[in-house]
């Protein structure tokens, strides 16, 4: 059985010191192709810098390669060309300093474990003691408001709670970066608004860097410090970056936000004309 465990590894905080540098991700001339014989060029010449503590939204239509870029940042995929650095070093594979969130919480969580055991999962992998795990999990569950549901299993809580559980589980391993792949797209509008508030609260307290993929312009405007708009594939790239200066919490009815919304919408139409015609 290949079940030999490496639980003995020390439970070190994987985060590098904050003073290391301002750039979390440095992406230059990044290319990603799929297939060998007739390669499909998903990403071409992607240029992007993600700075420390920033909330960056990757915005684009379906199929533009946002998720591909996120998978590269997580280390699930290897770049086909160009430079992709995390805090100055090439990304060798997934690691717990860059935790990914998924839209499908049912698949991402462990359905056979309770809410609390799910949060403790990452800590168990590090071989932390039970008492230590409990304390840390408790703090994370408090932070996302799930403490009173700790003995339930994921199928017994709502979709919004499952997403908060994913946040708590990630927080527990103290990552440097959150990579979020349309995490709230499957939720109803009201729950999504609540999740935005909850996420912003966590972000304000924990000061993590967040790269958040979405196809929803308003979601990007509600959350982001900066919105990177991706062009349609094949060979998609970052078409434009837009800094959002509005103070939080942001109100969708705010005229300044409305202007930005119009600009982004026009930009998206311009770079994906075929999609816009449908």
Partner 1 sequence: MTALESRAAPLPPARTRLFALRARHKAVLRKLGYIAASFALTLAAWQIIALYVVGPFLIPPPLAVLKAFGPMTANGDLYRDIAMSLSRVAVGYAVGVVLALALGLFMGRIRALHDLLDPIVQAMRFLSPTAMIPIVIIWFGIGEMAKYALVFWGTVAIVLINTIAGVLRTPKIRQHAALCLGASEAQIFRLIVLPSAVPFIVIGMRLALASAFVSIIPAELLAADSGLGYLLQQSSLLLQTDRIFVALVTICLVGFAADQLFYWSTSILLRRYLAVS
**Which residues are near partner 1 by CB under 8 A?**
1-7, 14, 74, 76, 93-96, 98-100, 102, 104, 106-113, 121-122, 125-126, 153, 155, 169-170, 173, 175
Looking at the Cβ atoms of 28 and 151, the one nearer to partner 1 is 151
**CB neighbours (10 Å) of residue 72?**
23
Instruction: Give the chain's radius of gyration (CA, Å).
Output: 19
Looking at the Cβ atoms of 155 and 251, the one nearer to partner 1 is 155
Bridge partners, 240 (sequence order) = 229
Name the burial class of residue 165, with classes exposed (0-12), middle (13-18) and buried (19+) by CB atoms within 10 angstroms of its CB.
buried
φ/ψ of residue 120, rounded to 5: -75, -10
Looking at the Cβ atoms of 14 and 53, the one nearer to partner 1 is 14
DSSP letter (8 states) at residue 133: H
Looking at the Cβ atoms of 83 and 156, the one nearer to partner 1 is 156
Looking at the Cβ atoms of 110 and 241, the one nearer to partner 1 is 110
Cβ–Cβ under 8 Å, residues 217 and 265:
yes
Looking at the Cβ atoms of 169 and 196, the one nearer to partner 1 is 169
Looking at the Cβ atoms of 8 and 245, the one nearer to partner 1 is 8
Structure tokens belonging to residue 114 = 């309770």
Q: Which regions of the chain does DSSP assign to beta strands (E)?
A: 23-34, 40-51, 55-59, 81-86, 89-90, 98-101, 177-181, 209-214, 226-230, 238-243
User: Which residue pairs, CB below 8 angstroms and at least 24 apart, start in 140-143?
Assistant: 140/168, 140/169, 140/171, 140/172, 141/115, 141/116, 141/168, 143/168, 143/171, 143/202, 143/205
How many Cα atoms sit within 13 Å of 118 on the Cβ side? 31
Looking at the Cβ atoms of 11 and 63, the one nearer to partner 1 is 11
- Rounded Cα distance between 30 and 48, Å, is 9
Please report where in the chains the tokens 């290319």 appear, as a residue: 31
């Amino acid at each position: 059985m290949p079940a030999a465990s490496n639980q003995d590894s020390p439970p070190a905080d994987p985060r590098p010191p904050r003073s290391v540098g301002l750039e979390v991700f440095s992406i230059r001339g990044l290319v990603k192709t799929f297939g060998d014989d007739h390669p499909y060029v998903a990403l071409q010449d992607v240029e992007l810098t993600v700075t420390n503590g920033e909330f960056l939204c990757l915005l684009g239509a379906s199929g533009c390669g946002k998720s591909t870029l996120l998978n590269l940042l997580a280390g699930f995929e290897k770049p086909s060309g160009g430079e992709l650095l995390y805090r100055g070093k090439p990304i060798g594979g997934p690691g717990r300093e860059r935790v990914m969130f998924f839209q499908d919480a049912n698949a991402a969580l462990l359905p056979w474990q309770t809410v609390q055991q799910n949060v403790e999962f990452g800590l168990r992998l590090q071989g932390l003691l039970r008492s230590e795990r409990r304390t840390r999990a408790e703090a994370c569950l408090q932070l996302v408001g799930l403490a009173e549901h700790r003995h339930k299993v994921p199928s017994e809580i709502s979709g919004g709670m499952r997403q908060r559980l994913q946040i708590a589980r990630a927080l527990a391993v103290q990552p440097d970066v959150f990579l979020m792949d349309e995490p709230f797209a499957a939720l109803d509008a009201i729950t999504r608004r609540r999740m935005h508030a909850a996420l912003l609260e966590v972000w304000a307290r924990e000061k993590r860097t967040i790269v958040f993929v979405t196809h929803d312009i308003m979601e990007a405007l509600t959350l982001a410090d900066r919105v990177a708009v991706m062009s349609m594939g094949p060979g998609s790239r970052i078409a434009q970056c837009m800094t959002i200066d509005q103070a939080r919490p942001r109100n969708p009815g705010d005229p300044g936000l409305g202007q930005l919304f119009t600009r982004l919408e026009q930009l998206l139409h311009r770079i994906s004309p075929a999609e816009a015609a449908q």
